[in-house]
Amino acid sequence: MVRFRALLKKRVKIIHFLKSVFLCLSIFTSNKFNIKVEFLMSTHGKDKRVFRNNHDKQFKEFQEEIQIQFTNIKLLKKAFTHSSYVNELHRKPYEDNERLEFLGDAVLELTVSKFLYLKYPMMSEGELTKLRAAIVCEPALVEFANELDFGKLVLLGKGEEMTGGRTRPALLADVFEAFIGALFLDKGIDTVVDFLEKYVFAKVNAGAFSHVMDFKSQLQEVVQRDNSGILEYKILTEKGPAHNREFVSNVFLNGAELGTGSGRSKKAAEQHAAQLALEKLKSHLQDTNTPLQPE
């Protein structure tokens, strides 16, 4: 009986000892886990702060480049926030740029339409519509966005990032429209027009969409309508390497020079010459209301 009690007492001590060991182990493991979690959270938080600081710096540089300072910087950032980024962070759907894209599309249509209406007073409704469609179509908007490196500013979800969303044409075109919408809300229509004058309308003025306008056909139509004479095109010079050729063309009416244009191909140079001649001819017709008589 005495031996049994001694053995029982010994077993109780062993059980208490084991409990103490398990308690120490659990405390150690828990502390180690908490330290690891705290480390990961602090590292993640640090990464987020670095990303935020870098992104803020990029937006600051972007505003300096376009020489426009947004009053509401959140509106600017929203224009570059893709739905995949919002979904990944479980934010509200309206925090992405889709509503700004809707607005920007309408603002672009209006401003481009007004620009074309004033620039080409003799162009028909059908031609104006065709030209506007070329300026606001996806490939053109992507070109405008790439010129300003919009892709690097876009906030994307990880999945969209991994599948090349930053360079996806449809995404860049949407971001350009969203930016125009944000610019309109923050600065008004005049600032939008100033921006477009620099980055969009300047390309129209330089003949970037001459393949749509077909100035040669327009010039021929005006000359035939007024019985002004015969048009003739001549390539004046061509220079540069084969991969970067530049041509200069003259257009003559009854032997008298009407315009001189340049381009990367003979066709482009002739179109440019026809554009300048057409502007000269239209100006003469508006001022005198009589057919042009070449000097």
Q: Which residues are catalytic?
A: 105, 177
Three-state DSSP state, 259? strand
236 and 256 in contact (C-beta within 8 Å)? no
As beta bridge partners, residue 233 has 251
Encoded tokens for 96: 């992405």
Calpha distance 148→62 (Å, rounded): 8
Calpha distance 108→110 (Å, rounded): 5
Calpha distance 85→96 (Å, rounded): 8
Amino acid at residue number 289 = N
219 and 281 in contact (C-beta within 8 Å)? yes
As beta bridge partners, residue 155 has 81
Calpha distance 86→83 (Å, rounded): 5
C-alpha pair distances (Å), 49 with each of 44, 56, 70, 210: 9, 10, 22, 48
User: In the chain, count of helices (H) and strands (E)?
Assistant: 13, 3
User: Helices (DSSP H) in 148-168: which residue ranges?
Assistant: 158-162
